[in-house]
Chains A and B, each alone.
Chain A
């Protein structure tokens, strides 16, 4: 069953699957770079393949989104809120594609093997160079923070729609109804 005012079931599955994966990635990333213990190593070995999986899913998702318009936001939402909603959604799409590309690119620039699992590595996508490595490595950190803050705002806004406004926005993604 697909209603006009909900996202397509495929979009909903991707949304919830990827939200778990991305949140995991942010926590894994923050945890691994601040640890000198064994978890540093196994978190890093999850980080690379999971990040590349997110990249692939994000491309599929973006393609699907461009061919399957999202249900419209409620007409009575203030204009600034609509702008914020659309802006943050495109920001999230951008980051879920850019972050893995930067991760892959910075390892290439640092002349590291981009190992997804033992014995399998991706080819470099950028030439090796210290300045390029350092810029991308810093960008990976600051964009991760931006990613996390955008996610917090997105989650807060979704809860606001579901708990305060109680409009059709949250059900459009959960697939439930607010009746």
Chain B
């Protein structure tokens, strides 16, 4: 025992207690600051997802954006042409299985297919070595905004007004007046029409990334998947049909697999790699990395894409994120959306139950 160590109480006991209290409070305050409790105005992933949820409505179990969709499966057949630019084994000639999802943007899983002129395609490539590549692409050339804060402001400005429950066109107008970077997107969407088929669309990464080759050299890229067969244009949906996309896909798959070419577009020096509102000129060098072949589809309620978070920062070695601030914000927001919907799926206490039959 260490009896001899016992000493008489020190002189300034109150001061010493105060010092201890101060240290404890200071560490706790630093933690609270880092965790955002002292800065409620900070744009957190949670606030981003709350804004999306306010706009799309409460739909337990569903994604908080791109809620309506369908699972697809197949494989990627690499051509080998991209192996010069990326060290990922994914791009050496050969086959890699994929789990994908075709969807509509927006948080309402019951939206009519014609309600938005945009469709999306998400893919997860499962590499043989245990790595994964996940990407979510939209069928549009540019994004309306270049920063997470602007995306939040856009979502709030175009979402329902808390007072009336309806979007306020004046707020949207005010947003676009103060966000000239949205010009290219607005110009495009004016003439965009809702496609009658998922299969005819070209889906784009929009955000830029880097490929890293075997010599350690970096190449800025954006990618797109381009349908192999040109649009058939064989008639639009019947009037009043709100769910034609899934039916069209099932019909096409019954005739055989559908194929897209994964095209990597290489930036030229000076092309913006951190701004999703700016398209690159059409003449940029493009490498055909291979073919995405989709041969099956399942409803998302129990399909293999349901519990997948298509987080665009999940990349194999040989692909890296760029300085585009939207990419990281997507990762952070998708994680929140994923936790909410898996929590609802798993009936965690305090979560709303999903409607099992419709999901």
A and B together in one complex: yes
Chain A residues at the B interface, C-beta cutoff of 8 Å: 5, 26-27, 30-31, 33-38, 40-41, 71-72, 74-76, 110-113, 115, 118-119, 121, 123, 128-135, 137-138, 148, 152, 155-156, 159-160, 163-164, 166-168, 178
Residues of A contacting B316 in the complex (Cβ-Cβ under 8 angstroms): 119
State in angstroms the CA–CA spacing of A167 and B320 once bound together. 54
Given A111-B307, A156-B20, 19 additional A-B pairs, CB 8 A? A27-B34, A34-B46, A36-B45, A36-B329, A37-B325, A38-B328, A41-B321, A72-B1, A74-B5, A113-B131, A123-B130, A128-B307, A130-B306, A131-B348, A137-B342, A152-B28, A159-B20, A164-B9, A168-B2
State in angstroms the CA–CA spacing of A110 and B19 once bound together. 44
Q: A113-B131, A119-B316 are in contact. Are A36 and B2 (CB under 8 A)?
A: no
**Interface flag for B72 (CB, 8 Å):** no
State in angstroms the CA–CA spacing of A115 and B130 once bound together. 10
Judging by beta carbons under 8 Å apart, are B308 and A178 in contact? Answer: no
Judging by beta carbons under 8 Å apart, are B13 and A164 in contact? Answer: yes
Nearest residue (CB) in B for A45 is B313
Kindly provide the distance from the CB of B155 to the nearest chain A CB, expressed in whole angstroms: 13
Q: A113-B314, A130-B345, A163-B19 are in contact. Are A34 and B9 (CB under 8 A)?
A: no
Judging by beta carbons under 8 Å apart, are B321 and A155 in contact? Answer: no
Residues of B contacting A41 in the complex (Cβ-Cβ under 8 angstroms): 313, 321, 328, 331
State in angstroms the CA–CA spacing of A7 and B327 once bound together. 48
Judging by beta carbons under 8 Å apart, are B339 and A134 in contact? Answer: yes
Select A110's contact among B16, B27, B34, B342, beta carbons within 8 Å.
B342
B9, B129, B306, B335 interface centre (most CB from chain A within 10 Å) = B335
**Interface flag for B3 (CB, 8 Å):** yes
21 contacts between A and B (CB under 8 A): A5-B2, A33-B335, A34-B36, A36-B44, A37-B329, A38-B328, A40-B332, A41-B331, A74-B5, A111-B307, A112-B132, A113-B131, A113-B314, A118-B320, A119-B317, A128-B307, A130-B341, A134-B348, A156-B24, A163-B20, A178-B7
Kindly provide the distance from the CB of A17 to the nearest chain B CB, expressed in whole angstroms: 19
8 A Cβ contacts from B206-234 to A? none
Q: A113-B131, A121-B130, A130-B346 are in contact. Are A38 and B325 (CB under 8 A)?
A: yes
State in angstroms the CA–CA spacing of A137 and B335 once bound together. 10
Kindly provide the distance from the CB of A46 to the nearest chain B CB, expressed in whole angstroms: 14
State in angstroms the CA–CA spacing of A72 and B1 once bound together. 7
Kindly provide the distance from the CB of A66 to the nearest chain B CB, expressed in whole angstroms: 22
**Interface flag for B323 (CB, 8 Å):** yes
Residues of B contacting A40 in the complex (Cβ-Cβ under 8 angstroms): 45, 328-329, 331-332
Residues of A contacting B323 in the complex (Cβ-Cβ under 8 angstroms): 38
State in angstroms the CA–CA spacing of A66 and B267 once bound together. 59
Sorted nearest first, the 7 A-B pairs with minimum C-beta distance are A131-B346, A119-B317, A130-B342, A34-B36, A30-B35, A134-B343, A168-B5
Judging by beta carbons under 8 Å apart, are A34 and B35 in contact? Answer: yes
Kindly provide the distance from the CB of A110 to the nearest chain B CB, expressed in whole angstroms: 7
Judging by beta carbons under 8 Å apart, are A36 and B5 in contact? Answer: no
Residues of A contacting B332 in the complex (Cβ-Cβ under 8 angstroms): 33, 35-36, 40
Nearest residue (CB) in B for A118 is B317
Judging by beta carbons under 8 Å apart, are B6 and A138 in contact? Answer: no
Judging by beta carbons under 8 Å apart, are A164 and B17 in contact? Answer: yes
Kindly provide the distance from the CB of A126 to the nearest chain B CB, expressed in whole angstroms: 13
State in angstroms the CA–CA spacing of A121 and B323 once bound together. 24
Q: A75-B1, A164-B16 are in contact. Are A155 and B346 (CB under 8 A)?
A: no
Kindly provide the distance from the CB of B9 to the nearest chain A CB, expressed in whole angstroms: 7
Residues of B contacting A167 in the complex (Cβ-Cβ under 8 angstroms): 2, 5-7
State in angstroms the CA–CA spacing of A133 and B9 once bound together. 52
**Interface flag for B289 (CB, 8 Å):** no
State in angstroms the CA–CA spacing of A148 and B31 once bound together. 9
Select A160's contact among B20, B36, B345, beta carbons within 8 Å.
B20
State in angstroms the CA–CA spacing of A135 and B339 once bound together. 9
